[in-house]
Amino acid sequence: MGSLAINHCSTVTYRASNRHPLCPDSASMRAKFIGLHNAGKSHNVLKFRMRTFASKKSVKKLKRDRQLRLAEKGNGVADRSGTEDDYVKDESKESTDDNFTSQTLVTIPSRSNVLQACTVTCGLITALGVIIRQGSHVASLEGLPFLDGSTEVTFDFELWHLELITGLVVLVSSCRYLLLKTWPDFAKSSEAANQQVLTSLEPLDYLVVAFLPGISEELLFRGALLPLFGMDWKSVLAVATVFGALHLGSGRKATFVGFAYGYATSVSKSIVVPMASHALNNLVGGILWRYTSKSPK
């Protein structure tokens, strides 16, 4: 028993002494290997999860960036389209302003040209009126069915005619003023006509361009043509219509004025009443334009 024990102890001692101090036994090595393997496996799983999270995060970021780029692009297109619309509107506005400016530009003749044209035109109208009046007089004497214009409408003047003249001046001037304030087309055409005729004139020239047309036109329309058609209201309206048609740009207004002058002529039987009323209305209109218009004079 003792020798066996000694032998066993020596065998164990010998096996223990034969182990290298730096080399662990197989069990410990196996445990360490298994631990390292498990640690590596856990590390790989962690790395895979991190990559998966990172890839998901990258996809979300790419989607968000793409949405931002699309939004910015949309805003850019909207801004650009808005800018283009504004540019087109500005261009159209400028073109409209240019057209309006070009339409409102009026050629201003010289003072001598205006006075010469007025004198020649009024002279021709007066001559035509005299010829018609004398022709109707001769035709009446010959027994033809024409009224004698020289006897139907005379140059007589009575005191009460002043009241009729005053009423006509107030009526026509007031209506003209209301039309200028309420009818843009009439105001525009009147402004253009006044600029062309009155701009280059001196103050005393207004008497010429007011009285010569007033006298000559009334001699023709109310002193010559009206007696040919008759002295009733139908003839007054017919002559007023012709009078308005020859006044281009203000036909309806001129027709109304012509009717008022014709009615006054049929009532007074005097050509002086429409002549004075017409001339004074021209003078009032010219003076008002001179001192109220913003156009250069």
> Tell me: the pLDDT tens digits for 90-144?
555 544 444 444 444 668 999 999 999 999 999 999 999 999 999 999 999 998 8
- Tell me what percent of the residues of the chain surpass a pLDDT of 90: 51
Cα separation, 223 vs 269, in Å, equals 10
**Most confident segment among 57-66, 95-104, 242-251, 281-290:** 281-290
Q: Report how far residue 167's alpha carbon sits from residue 264's, in angstroms, rounded to the nearest whole number.
A: 10
Q: Full-prediction pTM beyond 0.85?
A: no
User: Does residue 16 fall inside a structural domain?
Assistant: no
Residue 180 domain-assigned (yes or no)? yes
3-class SS of residue 270: strand
| Per-residue pLDDT, 186 | 85
129 and 68 housed in the same domain:
no
Q: Are residues 246 and 125 in the same domain?
A: yes
Question: In terms of residue numbers, what domain contains 64?
Answer: 35-79
Query: Which stretch of 17-31, 44-58, 162-176 has the lowest confidence by average pLDDT?
Result: 17-31
Residue 166 in domain: yes
5 is written with which tokens?
């024990």
- What gap in Å lies between CA 3 and CA 107, rounded to an integer? 151
Q: Is residue 292 pLDDT above 80, yes or no?
A: yes
Question: Does the residue 214 lie in any domain?
Answer: yes
Chain centroid to Cα 72, Å, comes to 36
Residue 271 lies in a domain: yes
Give the model's pLDDT for residue 28: 46
Same domain, 53 and 157: no
pLDDT for the residue 175: 93
Confidence check: pLDDT of 66 > 90 = no
What was the pLDDT predicted at 296?
Answer: 62
